[in-house]
Amino acid sequence: MNHTAPILLQLDEFMKHENINLSTLAKRAQVNVGTLSAILNGNKMLTVDHLDRLSSVMDLPEGYFYERYVQEYLSQSIPNWRRFRPFLYRCADLDKLECIKQATSLLMENLMYSPLLFEVAEDLFQKDQRAAAALLFENVANSEKQQHSERLAFCHYRLFLIRLGTDQEKNYQAAIQFEPYVERLDELDQLDALKDLGNIYRSLNQWNKVEMIANRLEHLAKTLYFTVQPKKNEKSPKPSRPLFTYIALSHLFHADVCDSQGDYEQALQFTYAYADLSWVKEDDVDTMHWKKVFLEWAQANTYVNKLLSGDASILPEYVAYIEKEKNEFISALSNIMEAANRYHFNVDDILKQFEPEISTYVNEEVTFGIYKRQFSANLFSLLLHNIAYYYLKKDNYTTGFIFLLESLEKSSIINNKRCIIKCMGLFEQYRDFASSATLISYKTLVKGVYTNEEKNLVTFFGN
């Protein structure tokens, strides 16, 4: 078979090679024989469904002809959305991203296709076909960059969410690129956008940004919650959570900012604020769920504030909380180690108790949701550093260096420069106590850090 020949010519060659007639081919492909005859004679357009059926009969991989289909059919006539739309979905299913690029480039000269492509992009996003969705959102955003439309802002919102990953610098860049578009969104969409931005900036320790977003979120959420809103139709945007939760979340953001500044008393006041939701008017199931969630968060963060203030008496209660809430293990143990190093608490028994859990996180890939992943990856590298610091200060150099090298490796993987610098500084402080094997491992890791830095042209100015 001539693999560079037009599709129909290759089909004709296949029929001759297999010694089958049109009727037999139509039967095998489950295509109407009259339809297939019209396609072969050039009197009817070949659809992507026909193409998939014929490719299967020819025992070719799915999507085998897609590049040629764009050239021979989609680009040779006035764009027909009824042909483009199913083609885009099939390309997304098969991860044929280059074909999506080629097809959408044929549409973007006409702005009438922008809302249609946006609908497909959003559908693909909801189906978690993020790479394909990103290509469409990017095309729509580029076509509407002079329009200052709400759709343009929403495309940038989706691109922000799609770009988030484990690389801290790339997350920071994604956040600052999206931030200018937030206020162009519908007010209800702004609530989730501010929530998402705030969570990412928290994971990056960008506390000035978190404080700014907390203020904006509190003002907008209170305005929407305490002002009677006109009824909207079903297609109107809706926040992902009940309105009151965004007010509570703004207080949580404020509390985190105070924690970062060492103002634990003020952090407690904000914590009490989102714990007391007696002012909430609704009493439906969703409301009761979120009230319970914020109350649980407030309980945990009350422990944190007291612990970081130097109150060691809270440790037994906090450990009992960790045993019950396994999902909070990383953040909770991080808080314990920070307090232990700051106030010289002895937490040997606690580290011994949670040794299996620590080992699991070191050696296995633990799955989290999108924001939990940001916090956990960042916090875990810092947790390992703080455990290393704890042991090194106690002259337990063997264990200390094991944790320190693990922290450096994890920090390098997620490109967390703040923790990388802390690890390198701590290593240099105790270098004289490192074994030759430890020095070799350290040198290898540092070389990897520098290699990664040379490839990365983005600079992240973390706190």
Identify which has the larger pLDDT, 5 or 290: 290
Identify which has the larger pLDDT, 220 or 3: 220
pLDDT of res. 373: 56
155 CB contacts (<8 Å, ≥6 apart)? 118, 121, 137, 138, 140, 141, 144
Q: Is 406 in contact with 382 (CB distance < 8 Å)?
A: no
pLDDT higher than threshold 70 for residue 458: no
Instruction: Taking residues 234-246, report their average pLDDT.
Output: 82
pLDDT of res. 108: 85
- Which tokens hold the place of 222? 């209170």
pLDDT of res. 326: 82
Instruction: Taking residues 154-175, report their average pLDDT.
Output: 94
429 CB contacts (<8 Å, ≥6 apart)? 392
pLDDT of res. 23: 93
Over the stretch 372-397, which tens digit does the pLDDT of each residue have? 555 577 889 999 999 999 999 999 99
Question: Of the given ranges (2-11, 155-164, 191-200), which has the lowest mean pLDDT?
Answer: 2-11
pLDDT of res. 428: 96
pLDDT of res. 237: 65
Q: Give dist(CA 193, CA 199) in Å, integer.
A: 10
Q: Count of residues for the chain?
A: 463
List the one residue out of 202, 204, 277, 268 whose CA is nearest residue 246. 277
Over the stretch 431-449, which tens digit does the pLDDT of each residue have? 999 999 999 999 999 988 8
Write b or e for each residue in 140-177: b if 16 or more Cβ atoms lie within 10 A of its Cβ, otherwise e: bbebbeeeebebbbbbbbbbbbbbbebbbbbbbebbee
Q: Is 227 exposed, middle or buried (0-12, 13-18, 19+ CB in 10 A)?
A: exposed
Instruction: Taking residues 40-47, report their average pLDDT.
Output: 88
pLDDT of res. 328: 84
pLDDT of res. 231: 54
Over the stretch 58-80, which tens digit does the pLDDT of each residue have? 999 999 999 999 999 998 778 88
CA angle 73, 76, 77 (to 5 degrees): 100
Q: Is 157 in contact with 193 (CB distance < 8 Å)?
A: yes
Q: How confident is the model at residue 460 (pLDDT cuts 50, 70, 90)?
A: very low
* Residue matched to tokens 């944790």: 403
Q: Is 202 in contact with 227 (CB distance < 8 Å)?
A: no
Q: Give dist(CA 281, CA 358) in Å, integer.
A: 42
pLDDT higher than threshold 90 for residue 173: yes
Q: How confident is the model at residue 172 (pLDDT cuts 50, 70, 90)?
A: very high
Over the stretch 81-110, which tens digit does the pLDDT of each residue have? 999 999 999 999 999 999 999 999 999 878
List the one residue out of 94, 92, 102 whose CA is nearest residue 72. 102
Instruction: Taking residues 207-223, report their average pLDDT.
Output: 97
Average pLDDT in the chain: 90
Q: How confident is the model at residue 461 (pLDDT cuts 50, 70, 90)?
A: very low
- Which tokens hold the place of 90? 């099939």
pLDDT higher than threshold 70 for residue 295: yes
